[in-house]
Structure 1
Amino acid sequence: MNNDALASTLTVNLGCQPGQRIALLTDDAPFASPDDELPDRIALARAFEAVAERLGMAAQVVTYPATGQSGAEPPESVFDAIYPEGFVPFATGKNLMRALLQKQLDDDGQAVLGAWLETQTPRFDAMLVLSRFSLSHTRFRNLLTRYTPLRAATMPGVEPFMFDGVMTADWPAVAQRSIAVARLLSRASSARIESAGGRILTCSLAGRTGLADTGIIDQPGGFGNLPGGEAFIAPLEGTA
């Protein structure tokens, strides 16, 4: 196991410092490519835990049964373990917990939960999600990073070999390149995409801003997927 890559994920990608608290969250879905040292995701979370503690951080591993699909909310036990103490009783008392778990929470309900979260002390400074199925676009993740200072990195589908490959990247250099490409996208007025077969797609980028996914998630309330290192932009609707 490349412990240097694990340490870099914590200290560079997530900006964790000694004394900070980090949640290491994973489901129990098997790896596609397990190895003898890391037979499953829980073993990977434990490896991160050992590295974090060696670096002077307070780490906690939280596991849950795989949801079976990306975007599904994790079970109530995960909210209870990660969110500020008292969240589940509060949400249940407001008749919002079931709606939250079933992805039926409306804007008014979110506002109630958000207002409560803003007054609470977070349990963790950072969260690293090592699950097979993505929690990136869930209310679980969104409420945490929107209403608390916790920063979160998700690695859906993470495999052990990534820590001998892509996660050993020079992340400051990756960030610089991502930002540079995002600036180019912001200055562009149109895009032209041509396939190997000669098909051409054009669209307008007028008035749109390029965004960089740098792989550096070190600010309060920050969120991103790892590995990062890309820039993206939304074309103007109706111009393709």
Structure 2
Amino acid sequence: MTPAEIAPKDRLIVALDLPSPEAAEAMVNRLGDSVTFYKVGYRLAYAGGLPLVGKLADKGKKVFLDLKLHDIGNTVMQGVESITRLGATFLTVHAYPQTMKGAVEGRGSASLKILAVTVLTSYNDDDLHAAGYRLSVSELVEARAQQAQVLGVDGLVCSPEEVGSLRKIVGHQMNLVTPGIRPAGAATGDQKRIMTPGRAIAAGADYLVVGRPVVEAADPSAVAEAIHAEIAQALG
């Protein structure tokens, strides 16, 4: 989907990083019509939250299934084949060539979109070097983006700091999804490469993933609406 085709309200993805399906459903009910797109990640998925993907889809919501798959190509392919039946809009895999290739093959002709995670937003250059990489964050992100484009991946998960450089590589053929989004004044938590919603959209991000600043707020719906307003302002 090109940027012009994305409804402004769909650009905010609220991360349901909550301890149970019941807690997640309660949050969805609190947010009501203020949010159209949700992320289901490790915490919720492994607490019995996978059936929630279909429930949300049946309600007309979009779901970003953030499982960050990474295994031998055939295993990833088979896993993705199963995931296509859940009703998710997006699925993440780590941006290793064999993993991405397997995911694209497993997706086949289904509507599920594969997103490749370039480098986690909690990593900086020192973290990569400690893990044995010789490349900097920016160099590794760009290399993986080029590989993802060749392999037919639909989009990339990257920090907002890398959005501008990646747009030059992939144009608007791939969606850029950015975690590490923090409204002005919000705590950064464990994120190291962050940006405000407005700045991220202005930089060229298509979708923003926001978790704790929304779900831990006294009034989650009000925070979501404020982010929508900031997105709209950035879009002009």
TM-score (norm 2): 0.33
**Structure richer in helix, relative to its length:** 2
Q: Between Structure 1 and Structure 2, whose CA radius of gyration is higher?
A: 1
TM-score (norm 1): 0.33
